[in-house]
Amino acid sequence: MASLFLRKNERVILIKCILCAWEAKTLAAVKERKYYQCPRCSAVFLDPANYLSSIKEKERYEEHNNDVEDPAYQDFVAPVVSEVRDKFGQQHQGLDFGAGTGPVITKLLREKGYRVALYDPFFWDNPEVLKGTYDFIVCCEVIEHFHSPLKEFGRLNSLLRPGGMLFCMTDLYCESMDFQRWYYKDDSTHVFFYHPRTLEWLKGKIGFSSLEIKGRLIMLGASLLEK
């Protein structure tokens, strides 16, 4: 990292990437919220000083109030359900991590005979669930809420059995997009955005065995390393 030479009374605020700890650069300011991008892993993140309190964060999630019977909501998660059904059978054990107020993926998979446990720090806070291991984990519209993405992905990998797979859905960021006009940043609980290079960095760091990106669906294979 470059060293800084400051004149007297000059203040430079440095912020480190909340994923890889590299020195990040300012990307944009949107009203009072500041966003940074990491030159190493390409992640874009909200200044932690702009995070909502956990009470306000929970209130915001409660506003979502996703209806598991809503056909549009079911269509939205269909790519995850389809990939899980292609790759895993009813003998496999699944986890819906960050299931939220309306765990629609769990509902659709359970209807097909799959066993899926639920976890969410706000709505399904059952720590026992995190003591188990799983063949597949679905994490739908969750990873953009992570305050500590490295810790969370490490935990998700540790919850996977050998041969297991993590299925995430999020909207990816890339340079061709106009960040100021990007709808996805406007949700005040969305604090961390992934570039395809961010996912490559995570794969290397955690040791995921594979990475496949299909639109907003991301599939990561369980690490082959000793956990």
Does 20 contact Zn ion by CB under 5 A? yes
Does 38 contact Zn ion by CB under 5 A? yes
Q: How many residues bind Zn ion (CB under 5 A)?
A: 8
Q: Which stretch binds Zn ion (CB under 5 A): 34-42, 121-129, 184-192, 215-223?
A: 34-42
Per the listing, tokens 């859905």 go with: 169
Q: What is the dihedral of CA 212, 153, 196, 107, to 10 degrees?
A: 60
The residues in 41-100 that bind Zn ion, with binding defined as CB under 5 A, are 41, 43
Residues 32 and 51: beta-carbon distance below 8 Å: no
Phi, psi (degrees; rounded to nearest 5) at 36: -125, 155
Q: Which two tokens stand for residue 169?
A: 């859905």
Q: How far is the CB of 23 from Zn ion (least distance, A)?
A: 9
Residues 197 and 20: beta-carbon distance below 8 Å: no
CA atoms within 13 A on the CB side of 46: 23
Does 19 contact Zn ion by CB under 5 A? yes
Q: How far is the CB of 37 from Zn ion (least distance, A)?
A: 9
Of the residues 17, 27, 159, 160, which one makes contact with Zn ion according to CB under 5 A: 17
Q: How far is the CB of 132 from Zn ion (least distance, A)?
A: 31
For Zn ion, the closer of residues 171 and 200 by Cβ is 200
Q: How far is the CB of 140 from Zn ion (least distance, A)?
A: 24
Does 140 contact Zn ion by CB under 5 A? no
Q: Which stretch binds Zn ion (CB under 5 A): 13-21, 59-67, 104-112, 144-152?
A: 13-21
Distance CA 41, CA 37 (A): 9
Buried b (16+ CB within 10 A) or exposed e, 5-27: eeeeeeeeeebebbbbeeebeeb
Q: How far is the CB of 42 from Zn ion (least distance, A)?
A: 7
For Zn ion, the closer of residues 100 and 149 by Cβ is 149
List, in sequence order, every residue forming a beta bridge with 8; answer none if it has no partner.
Answer: none
| DSSP at 189 | T
Binding site for Zn ion (CB under 5 A): 17, 19-20, 22, 38, 40-41, 43
